[in-house]
Amino acid sequence: MIKKERKLLVVDDNIDFIHFIRRALEREDYRISIALDGKTAIEKTSTENPELILLDMKLPDISGEEVLERVKEVNKDIPVIVITGYGGDQVAIDMMRKGAIDFLTKPVEPRILIKAIASALAIHDAQKKDKKNPYPSLEIFFPFLAHEIRNPLHAIAGAMAIIQKRCNLEDEFLTQSIKIIHEEVNHLNDFVQGCLNFVRPPDFIRFSEVNLRELISVTTSMMTHTLEPESNKIKIDIKADPDLPKVYINYEEIKQAFLNIVKNAFEAMPEGGELLIEASQTHESPKAVEIVFKDQGVGIKKEAMDLLFSPFFTNKPRGNGLGLALCRRIIVERHQGTIHVESEENKGTTVKVRLPIDRPQQDQPGEAS
């Protein structure tokens, strides 16, 4: 892998020290730009957009302190390492308070300088990644919440089973009420499970070579069992290329995604209809398998098309809106695949999924639309 060169701005009026820095960083992958005074440093921060600044406190024009404040106004996230020939703890504390990430005193050992730059960039990269990920706190928080919800639900279901056994089943209102409680408990359980699936971190260890024809059959028979009797009205037709190559995927996750797609198709055809599932290898590069789910259901309104993949978007009275959001997480973010939905109201919906045949690279998501 080619390492990316990173841009550093060195702010110092001492030419000898600048030479020293150049020599110390000779073997590292840094591109160095120089500012001999504070004004140039501020200018270069906005024109050159460096990734890190090494800042001397004593400059001919403006104080290092002011330069620190001004460059932070230009880019508040830029890591600044303050270097000074004088100082002490108090100066260091003041500079850190003003946003410096580290503080070094001259003479600086090259080894220490290199380490300070590397760790400042690493901290900065980690913070940036954290900001890009919209779910970090949810991933940690939700499993706790789920645990707190599921325990009482379990207790309610248990207590209801006892009541059901002992109560007078002739009483229609009572039987009806028990049924409602059961349904609501199941609904809440499913919702919590849906959220848990959505926030669960990726598990790259469970990737293996999978025969998709088999996985599709498992998915459809699972759905037919869970959605009886509705499923009696739905005909499922699976057409998979006989020489369909295996794909390298997380079996359980892709099964989850396909279950959600098939469930949506079933729910879109309350009066019955046909669900056609086709799987074939694409002829474009990168090599992929395309799975097309085509239903004859109610279809989707044009206005809703852009919202389909947003978590909690649903137009079903009892939907949770997590099905397609989960599909996107699994297929696009975790398998570098793609998922596209086409639909016509009252005619039907087609969901096209592509999964790369070869091992996915992390950090290279696919797309959803």
**343 lies in the binding site for Mg ion (CB under 5 A):** no
**323 lies in the binding site for ligand ADP (CB under 6 A):** yes
The partner residues of 221 in beta bridges, in order of sequence, read none
Q: Could you tell me if 320 and 271 are in contact, meaning their C-beta atoms sit under 8 angstroms apart?
A: no
Stretch of residues binding Mg ion (CB under 5 A), selected from 58-66, 120-128, 169-177, 263-271: 263-271
Q: What is the DSSP string of 123-154?
A: HHHHHHHHHH-S-HHHHHHHHHHHHHHHHHHH
DSSP 3-state of 337? coil
The footprint of ligand ADP on residues 205-264 (CB under 6 A) is: 260, 264
**40 lies in the binding site for Mg ion (CB under 5 A):** no
The footprint of Mg ion on residues 236-255 (CB under 5 A) is: none
Q: Which does 314 bind (CB under 5 to 8 A by kind): Mg ion, ligand ADP, none?
A: ligand ADP
Residue 229 vs residues 100, 127, 204, 224, 225: alpha-carbon distances, Å: 65, 51, 37, 8, 9
**315 lies in the binding site for ligand ADP (CB under 6 A):** yes
**314 lies in the binding site for ligand ADP (CB under 6 A):** yes
Residue found under tokens 């009541």 = 163
Site size for Mg ion (CB under 5 A): 2
What tokens were used for 266? 């079933």
Taking the least distance from each CB to ligand ADP, the nearer of 84 and 296 is: 296
Q: Strands 207-210 and 247-250, how do they pair?
A: antiparallel
Cα–Cα distance measured from residue 90 to residue 93, given in angstroms and rounded to the nearest whole number: 5
Q: Which of 198, 212, 295, 356 binds ligand ADP (CB under 6 A)?
A: 295
Q: Which does 349 bind (CB under 5 to 8 A by kind): Mg ion, ligand ADP, none?
A: ligand ADP
**264 lies in the binding site for Mg ion (CB under 5 A):** yes
Q: Strands 234-240 and 102-105, how do they pair?
A: unpaired
Q: What is the DSSP letter of 279?
A: E
Q: Which of 21, 52, 257, 298 binds ligand ADP (CB under 6 A)?
A: 298
Q: Which of 38, 215, 349, 355 binds ligand ADP (CB under 6 A)?
A: 349
Residue 62 vs residues 13, 66, 119, 266: alpha-carbon distances, Å: 12, 7, 28, 70
Taking the least distance from each CB to ligand ADP, the nearer of 308 and 331 is: 308
Residues that bind ligand ADP (CB under 6 A): 260, 264-265, 268, 295, 297-300, 304, 308, 313-316, 319-325, 349
